[in-house]
DNA sequence: TCCGAATAAAGAGCAGTGCTCTCGAAAGGT
DNA sequence: ACCTTTCGAGAGCACTGCTCTTTATTCGGA
């Protein structure tokens, strides 16, 4: 976070922000595949070649949008739980808020969880931004465990080899229970994104009628399966 | 399936097949985003404009590849179960075969389940081809129920409103049990695709170490949760 | 204050894309 | 043999990402 001092640096920062802002608008309109650097330049009233003084290229621009979207989704889901609500309700709220954000930002969601762009490599800050959603899910489980509201699962836990998961992730999640529920938590995260993606990408047309109800049901089943008590 | 009679129709069919075949080769190489009609024409030694006599455009070509890939994946997973194996083993085999096909056809998988192409509308034959995978999963459950090898789930079934699911799907699956396991079956399908997609699209890098073991574990947990007895 | 250096802006240009149109050549049926 | 349909090829249009060169503007130090 270098504070801009000179007027040049100020102008540079604002112009770069302008470019990214209009890029996000265009992304929301036409999607990542049809995002055109020239169209962005036209919209800003500058020559297309001038954009390259602020952005290395199309891929870097998409990476910036990726980071923005991950953080926006992360902020949304982190504000979904409420302290006075039950863990299962908070768990479900995260699912529904994530879906709502995806519905309101279809192309951004597709950029995050759809087909990655051909020449893509995830920088470090990207993965931390992407982790905010699964970490929010883990936090609900941990808070429930800390307040004695995480019951043992009814079904016996299957054999589970913890070395399937990266040790850093195990430490990062700091899940109170280190059994098969760790894998179940990853599956819940996957199922959340997968269900939203199936709805948005059309795989549920002709299959699911009431999408929100279906996701809420799935959230509750998954949450109770992980040991969150039904209210 | 109109059998070609005249020599013209024969030549037309073979050339069209050639175009689709090389398109699939290129798709496997560079992915759907970088699929170039001109490159395909070059590869076939014909002018790019001549391709348009056989294919309406890039989108129609991608739709053809979509159909091909869905059917190939469907054939693979339909041949995964073996009669003498236990239902749970067959269930798991479908998961692992689907993953292996996806690993061997990354770009095809991305075309099927990744971000849909901008100007896309799923024709009817596409949805039937896409249904072969979830129907294979349903068939294993039904066969297990018919042979008395589908136990009642240990956890009590949550409230479930069947009207969330399209009636045609309910009839098509003809699941022996019409309770919340119908939604659980859809979730299993979603989780299978989602887990494979997360692995292929990089969301599991730094999270999951042994991907095949993780998917096998997820398959077994999901299968037993649906009532398939552990061997 | 002036002047050199750093920076920005703009335009031209290259290689590539999807797609359309036109025109000549080949093949088909009558 | 003729006429019609089909086919192949090329030119061309409107785009795209990106680079290079040239001109203009701004900044900082003497």
Residue A103 belongs to a domain:
yes
pLDDT confidence of residue B103: 98
Which residue, among A157, A171, A129, has the nearest Cα to B224 in the 3D structure? A157
CB atoms within 10 A of CB A230: 12
Counting residues of chain A whose pLDDT is more than 70, the rounded percentage is 93
Average pLDDT of every residue of chain B: 92
From chain B, the residues in CB contact with A116 under 8 A are 201-202
Q: Beta carbon of B4 within 7 Å of strand C? A: no
Domain end point (choices A41, A56, A71): A56
More confident residue, B161 or A110: A110
Tens of pLDDT, residue by residue over A41-79, are 999 999 999 999 999 999 999 999 999 999 999 999 999
More confident residue, B151 or B16: B16
Q: Domain check: are A148 and A66 in the same one?
A: yes
Domain count, chain B: 2
pLDDT confidence of residue B118: 66
Q: Which ipTM value was assigned to this complex?
A: 0.95
Q: Is the pLDDT of residue A220 over 50?
A: yes
Q: Domain check: are A141 and A196 in the same one?
A: yes
CA–C1' gap, A124 and C6, in angstroms? 32
Chain B: give the shortest CA distance to residue A47, in Å.
26
Q: Domain check: are B45 and B158 in the same one?
A: no
Q: Domain check: are A129 and A196 in the same one?
A: yes
Residue A122 belongs to a domain:
yes
Domain end point (choices A36, A56, A76): A56
CA–C1' gap, B5 and D7, in angstroms? 18
More confident residue, B122 or B144: B144
Which of B33, B160, B224 is opposite residue A217, by nearest beta carbon? B160
Closest nt by CA–C1' to B53 = D7
pLDDT band with cut points at 50, 70 and 90 for residue B119 = low
Q: Domain check: are B187 and B151 in the same one?
A: yes
More confident residue, B140 or A231: B140
**How big is chain A by its Cα radius of gyration, in Å?**
21
Find which of A203-207, B1-5, B153-157 is predicted with most confidence, using mean pLDDT: A203-207
- CATH label of the domain that carries residue A218: 1.10.357.10
Token readout for A149 is 């509201």
Q: Is the pLDDT of residue A212 over 70?
A: yes
From chain B, the residues in CB contact with A160 under 8 A are 217
Token readout for A219 is 């959230």
pLDDT confidence of residue B115: 94
Q: Tell if the CB–CB gap between A165 and B208 is shorter than 8 Å.
A: yes
Q: Domain check: are A25 and A75 in the same one?
A: no
Tens of pLDDT, residue by residue over A92-124, are 999 999 999 999 999 999 999 999 876 666 777
Q: Is the pLDDT of residue A154 over 70?
A: no
The residue of chain B with its CA nearest to that of A172 is B207
Q: Domain check: are B38 and B90 in the same one?
A: no
Q: How far apart are CA B157 and CA A128, in angstroms?
A: 36
**pTM of the model as a whole:** 0.96
Burial pattern B30-66, b for ≥16 Cβ within 10 A else e, equals ebbbebebebbbeebebeeeebeebbeebeebbbbbb
Q: Domain check: are A25 and A72 in the same one?
A: no
The residue of chain A with its CA nearest to that of B108 is A115
Q: How far apart are CA B101 and CA B72, in angstroms?
A: 9
Residue B146 belongs to a domain:
yes
Q: Domain check: are B144 and B75 in the same one?
A: yes
**Residues B175-181: contacts with CB under 8 Å, at least 24 apart:** B175/B138, B175/B141, B175/B142, B176/B141, B176/B142, B176/B145, B176/B146, B176/B150, B177/B145, B177/B150, B177/B227, B180/A217, B180/A221, B181/B141, B181/B153, B181/B157, B181/B226, B181/B227
Q: What are the φ and ψ backbone dihedral angles of B85, each rounded to 5 degrees?
A: -85, 165
DSSP assigned state of A46 = S
Q: How far apart are CA B48 and CA B224, in angstroms?
A: 53
Q: Domain check: are B43 and B116 in the same one?
A: no
Q: Beta carbon of A8 within 7 Å of strand D? A: yes
Whether A138 contacts A175, CB under 8 Å: yes
- CATH label of the domain that carries residue A16: 1.10.10
Q: Domain check: are A69 and A34 in the same one?
A: no
B:20-79 Cβ neighbours of strand D under 7 Å: 45-50, 53-54
- CA dihedral of residues B66, B70, B75, B80 (deg, nearest 10): 140
Chain A: give the shortest CA distance to residue B58, in Å.
14
Q: What residue spans of B131-173 are helical by DSSP H?
A: 132-146, 167-173
More confident residue, B50 or A161: B50
Residue B41 belongs to a domain:
yes
pLDDT confidence of residue A1: 47
Out of A1-15, A138-152, A163-177, least confident range: A1-15
Residue B231 belongs to a domain:
no
Domain hosting A8: range is 1-56
Closest nt by CA–C1' to B54 = D7
CA–C1' gap, B62 and C24, in angstroms? 32
Chain A: give the shortest CA distance to residue B201, in Å.
6
Q: Domain check: are A49 and A73 in the same one?
A: no
């Amino acid at each position: 976070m270098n504070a801009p001092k000179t007027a040049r640096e100020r102008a540079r920062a604002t112009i770069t922000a302008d470019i990214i802002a209009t890029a996000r608008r265009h992304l929301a309109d036409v999607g990542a595949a049809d995002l055109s650097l020239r169209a962005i330049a036209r919209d800003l009233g500058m020559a297309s070649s001038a954009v390259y003084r602020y952005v290395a290229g199309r891929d870097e621009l998409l990476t910036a949008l990726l980071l923005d979207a991950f953080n926006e989704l992360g902020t949304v889901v982190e504000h979904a739980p409420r302290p006075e609500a039950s863990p299962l309700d908070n768990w479900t709220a995260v699912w529904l808020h994530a879906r709502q954000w995806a519905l309101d930002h279809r192309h951004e969601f597709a950029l995050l969880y759809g087909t990655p762009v051909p020449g893509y490599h995830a920088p470090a800050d990207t993965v931390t931004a992407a982790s905010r959603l699964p970490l929010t899910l883990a936090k609900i489980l941990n808070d429930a465990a800390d307040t004695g509201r995480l019951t043992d699962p009814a079904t016996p836990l299957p054999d589970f080899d913890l070395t399937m998961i990266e040790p850093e992730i195990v430490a990062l999640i700091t899940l109170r229970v280190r059994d098969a529920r760790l894998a179940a938590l990853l599956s819940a995260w996957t199922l959340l994104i997968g269900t939203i993606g199936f709805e948005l990408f059309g795989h549920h047309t002709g299959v699911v009628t009431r999408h929100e109800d279906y996701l809420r049901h799935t959230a509750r089943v998954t949450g109770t399966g992980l040991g969150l008590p039904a209210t």
